[in-house]
Structure 1
Amino acid sequence: MGIRSVLSKPLARWVAQRQQDWMYGPGAAQQRWFTRLVETARNTEFGRDHHFRDVHTVADFRQAVPVRDYEDLKPYIQKVVDGQENILWPGKPVYFAKTSGTTSGTKYIPLTKESIPNHINSARDALLNYVHETGNSRFLDGKLIFLSGSPELTQKNGIHVGRLSGIVNHHVPAYLRTNQLPSYETNTIDDWETKLETIIDETIHQPMSLISGIPPWVQMYFDRIQARTGKKIKDVFPDFSVFVYGGVNFEPYRAKLFESIGKRIDSIETYPASEGFIAYQDTQTEEGLLMLLDSGIFFEFIPTEEYFSENPRRLTIEEVELGKNYAVVINNNAGLWGYSIGDTVKFVSRDPYRLLVTGRIKHFISAFGEHVIGEEVEKALQYAMQQQPETEVVEFTVAPMVAPAEGLPYHEWLVEFATPPHDPARFAHDLDNRLIELNVYYDDLITGAILQPLRLTSLPRGAFQQYMKSQGKLGGQNKVPRLANDRKIADGLLAVMNNG
């Protein structure tokens, strides 16, 4: 065993022991952070505007600070972008994580010297939890590949700006840098397809042991390697033993990914966002991701059915219930206050608190009041794939067809198959029946002949890649929304298919 794998075990044991304090004292950990955050920000412009000096309890805070999304908080963020100090948090941020907003254009999410450990230490601890539980640390002696955005940074008024994954790249511990791939130069290549080919050039003859990235982009990497070599990934990288992923539900990709690898390997799911590292998989044996309750964030949760109401309830971690969907609201040591990150989660355990990411609060189909959400379409797809297990899916999205040329409206499922089902009509029938079981409103609309059963549109290979390329969003951390209440994505995909 190498020095990295040997030294990782006592560190992993320390991390796991330290976790016990807040895992089983979640309320106390959250209260500590609430008090620390409010006290630290009292003399900022935001703190003065919202009377933080008079905020002593969570109830006080909720009266003083409304829930906001990026657009609502933008007047404060813009002052920070302009170089002003002490606006949302004392001093200035160290970085802005640049993301693409659907309504706000480019978003600049502040990262401060106090908030950076949340991102860096959480990624580290996800791996160390795995080492502690399984005893497998040998992967740390091999080559580690992180399929991520460019680490190149620009500046705005003295503050570094870049993609979150690129910023994090600058904070990879020195002891891992010597076995990290791809190289800095390759990571800075703008064109994703050129970058991917160069990554393959750099990695194909290396002893890769850990691969990390968003599943569809890792799958693309695997496909290109197989096209070059004609081999399964296990034969190209015999030491490959750990797959780290996040950003999308893994289940639709699982069968195809493991088929490409040629063997089962361990996987670690993470839940990082530009606004904060929310949770990670701390065990290979239990469902859900451990929520990080002692890492610079005070969390609130809004029941999804109340989110768009005038006065939705804002719950603390100790008030959430199992099996219910909540929108996540964060208050953190980067100066985000009452900030709705747009994600929805569902808790599957309270001892400790573990969650599943179920979708986006604004990604739904409700053209007729059905309010179908991401979790439901993913469960329906998973069910249909179980009925025809030969099926392998590359990517998919769902959109309403409100005014078809003839007949009743319907939901259109646009699916790119790696291996299509033997019986596409039955596959569509299974999708529809499972969705009827999962969503009572959809059931009512089908039963009441307001909607006709969904229609399945099979897209040619490469359709999603071509669409993302046409939008300037190929590769990196970009993801296709699972569903939308309009046809912008669906029509874009069909245009790509028709023009191809």
Structure 2
Amino acid sequence: MGVKALLSKPLAAYVHRKHQSWIDSPVEAQQTIFKNILNKAQHTRFGRDHGFSGIRSHADFVKAVPVRDYEGLKGYFTQVKQGEKDVLWPGKPLYLAKTSGTTSGTKYIPITRDSISNHIDGARDALLAYVYETGRSQFLDGKLIFLSGSPVLEEVGGIHTGRLSGIANHHVPGYLRTNQLPSYETNCIEDWETKLDQIIEETIDQNMTLISGIPPWVQMYFDKLIRQTGKPIKDIFPNFQLFVYGGVNFEPYRKKLFESVGKQVDSIELFPASEGFFAYQDKQNDSGLLLLLNSGIFYEFIPTEEFFNENPTRLTIGEVEVGVNYALVISSNAGLWGYSIGDTVKFTSVKPYKLIVSGRIKHFISAFGEHVIGEEVEKAMKLTMAKFTNVELIEFTVAPYVSQSHGASYHEWLVEFARAPHNLDAFAKELDEQLQKLNSYYYDLIKGNILKHLKITPLPAGTFREYMKSQGKLGGQNKVPRLSNDRKLADGLLEVSRK
């Protein structure tokens, strides 16, 4: 065992003991964060505008600070982007994380000197939690790859600006830099396909032990390796031990990815975003992610059915319940206040507080009043594939098809199969029945002949990749929306498939 693997074990034990203090006192930990960030930001422009100096309780905060998304806070973000100081947090941000939005276009999320440790320590502690639980640390002696965006930063308003993954690349601990692949020069390549070819050249003969990235892009890396060598990943990288991922639900990709590997490897799920690093999987046999309650972020939770109400209920950590879908709202030492990140979560445990990411608050289908969410379509697909074990999936998305004729509308599932079902009609029937079980509104619309049963439209190999490429979103941290309430994505995919 090498020095890095050996020294990681006492460090993992130390971090575990340190975390146990806030895990055992979660409400108190959150209250301390709440008071600290309000106190530090009271003299900022936002703090003065919202009377931070007079806020004494969460109830006061709810009255003073409404829930807003990026668009709602855009005036403040614009001032930050223009280089003004003391707008949302004292001074100027250390970085601006550039991320693609929908209605807002490109978003610029501040990362401050106070908040950068949240991003860096969260990822580090996820690996140390794995070492502490399993005792397996040999992966730290091999080569580690993080499939990420370019680390090249530009200046906006005098602030270093780039993709979050690129920013994080500048903060990889020195003791891991000698293990890290690809090279800095390769990581700077903007074109994903060119970059991937170079990554393969640099890694194909290396002792890869940890591979990290968003599952569909990791799968593309594996596919190219297999085509080039004719071998499964386990034979190319015999010491591959740990897969680290986040950003999307892994379940639709799990089967094909592990078949590509050719053996089971351990995995860790992360819950990172430009707005903060929120949670990570700390137990191999527990899919719940440990919510980080002592990392500069104060959390609020809105029951999803109330989210679009004028005055929704805003719960703190001590008030949440297991099994309820909540929209996640944060206030943090990055200068985000009452900020809706757009994700929905569901707690799997409150001792300690663990959750899963259940979807996106704006990613739903309700063209006919069915209120279908991402968690439901992904679970329906998972349950269906469990019955059709020969099927392999690459990617899918769901959109409504609205007909002017009564009873002729339906949900269209656009699916790219690696291995299609022998009987597509039977697969579609099972998928439809699973969704009916998961969503009573959808069931009622089907039984009432308002909607036809869902339709699966198989797409040619490479359609999703070509569509994402056409949108300038190939590779890196970009994700395909699982479902949408309009036809924009679906029609774009169909157009690409016909070329």
Whole-angstrom distance in 2 between the partners of 1:53 and 1:195: 50
- Structure 1 letter corresponding to 2:105: G
Alignment partners' CA distance in 1, 2:468 and 2:157? 32
TM-score, with structure 1 as normaliser = 0.99
Matched residue type, 2:494 = L
8 Å contact 2:92–2:112 — kept in the other structure?
Answer: yes
Please give the alpha-carbon distance, in whole angstroms, between the structure 2 residues aligned to 1:228 and 1:286: 36
Tell me whether 1:444 sits opposite 2:444 in the alignment: yes
* Equivalent runs, 1:4-15 vs 2, <5 Å: 4-15=4-15
Structure 1, gaps ≥5 residues long: none
Match in the other structure for 1:485? 485
1:295-325: per-residue Cα shift (whole Å, max 9, x none)?
Answer: 0000000000000111100000111111010
The answer to whether the 8 A contact 1:388-1:422 is kept is no
Aligned-partner Cα distance in 2 for 1:428–1:487 = 20
Which one-letter code corresponds to 1:282 in the other structure?
A: D
Q: How does 1:10-409 map to 2 (within 5 A)?
A: 10-403=10-403, 408-409=408-409
Tell me how far 1:158 sits from its aligned partner.
1.5
* 1:241-294 deviations in Å (ceiling 9; x for gaps): 000000000011000000000000000000000000010001112231000000
Which consecutive unaligned segments of at least 5 residues does structure 2 have?
none
Give the SS at the match of 1:71: coil
SS of the residue corresponding to residue 414 of structure 1 reads strand
Residues 367-389 of structure 1 show CA distances to partners (whole Å, capped at 9, x for unaligned) of 01001000000000001100101
Identity of aligned residues (%): 67
Q: Using the alignment, how far apart are the partners of 1:430 and 1:22 within structure 2? A: 45
In the TM superposition, what is the alpha-carbon distance from 1:408 to its structure 2 partner?
0.7
> What number of residue pairs does the alignment pair up?
499
The separation in 1 between residues aligned to 2:407 and 2:493, in whole angstroms, is 23
Instruction: Tell me if structure 2 keeps the 8 A contact 1:213–1:244.
Output: yes
Contact 1:209 1:242 in 2 (8 A): yes
TM-fit CA distance, 1:157: 2.1
> Quick one: distance in 2 between partners of 1:197 and 1:404?
48
Range 4-13 or range 403-412, more displaced: 403-412
Conserved 8 A contact 1:279-1:289:
yes
Give 1:404 deviation, angstroms.
7.0
The ranges of structure 1 where at least 4 consecutive aligned residues each deviate by more than 3 angstroms after the TM superposition are 404-407
2:346–2:357 Cα contact (<8 Å) kept: yes
Measured in 2, the distance between the counterparts of 1:222 and 1:387 equals 26
Amino acid in structure 2 at the alignment position of 1:154:
E
Q: Which amino acid aligns with 1:397?
A: T
CA deviations on 1:419-464 (whole Å, 9 max, x unpaired) are: 1122211110111001111111101100100000000111111110
Please say if residues 364 and 371 of structure 1, whose CA atoms lie closer than 8 Å, have aligned partners that are also in contact. yes
CA deviation after TM superposition for structure 1 residue 406, in Å: 9.5
Helix, strand or coil: the match of 1:329? strand
Per-residue CA deviation, residues 152-181 of structure 1 (Å, 9 max, x unaligned), is: 000012200000000000000000000100
Q: Equivalent residue of 2:498, what SS?
A: helix
Whole-angstrom distance in 2 between the partners of 1:99 and 1:263: 35
- Tell me the SS of whatever aligns to 2:48: helix
Q: Give the counterpart letter for 1:394 in structure 2.
A: I
Equivalent position amino acid for 2:353 in 1: Y
For 1:414, the equivalent position in structure 2 comes to 414
Q: One-letter code of the match for 2:342? A: G
**Secondary structure in 1 aligned to 2:72?**
helix
One-letter code of the match for 1:471?
A: Q
* Deviation, structure 1 residue 36: 0.1
Distance in 1, matches of 2:40 and 2:20, equals: 26
The answer to whether the Cα contact below 8 Å between 2:407 and 2:451 also exists between their aligned partners in 1 is no
Distance (whole Å) between structure 2 residues aligned to residue 146 and residue 77 of structure 1: 29
Distance in 1 (CA, whole Å) between partners of 2:332 and 2:178 is 33
Separation (CA, whole Å) in 1 of partners of 2:309 and 2:56: 26
Deviations 1:219-240 (A, max 9, x none): 0000000000000000000010
Please report the RMSD computed on the Cα atoms of aligned residues, expressed in angstroms.
Answer: 0.9
Q: Secondary structure at the match of 1:197?
A: helix
CA distance in 2, matches of 1:304, 1:462: 35
Which is further off, 417-426 or 218-227? 417-426
Contact 2:214 2:247 in 1 (8 A): yes
Contact persistence 2:407–2:450 (CA under 8 A): no
Mapped to 1, the partners of 2:363 and 2:301 lie a distance apart of 18
Q: Distance in 1 between matches of 2:199 and 2:285?
A: 33
Displacement after TM superposition at 1:134 (Å): 0.3
Deviation at 1:407, TM superposition (A): 6.1
- Give the match for residue 498 of structure 2: 498
| Structure-1 separation of matches of 2:226 and 2:94 | 41
Letter in 2 for 1:336: L
Q: Following the alignment from structure 1 to structure 2, what is the Cα–Cα distance between the partners of residues 120 and 127?
A: 12
Task: Give 2:113's aligned amino acid.
Answer: K
Task: Name the residue aligned to 1:453.
Answer: 453
- Give the counterpart letter for 1:176 in structure 2: L
SS at 2:299 equivalent:
strand
The letter of the residue matching 1:453 is: H
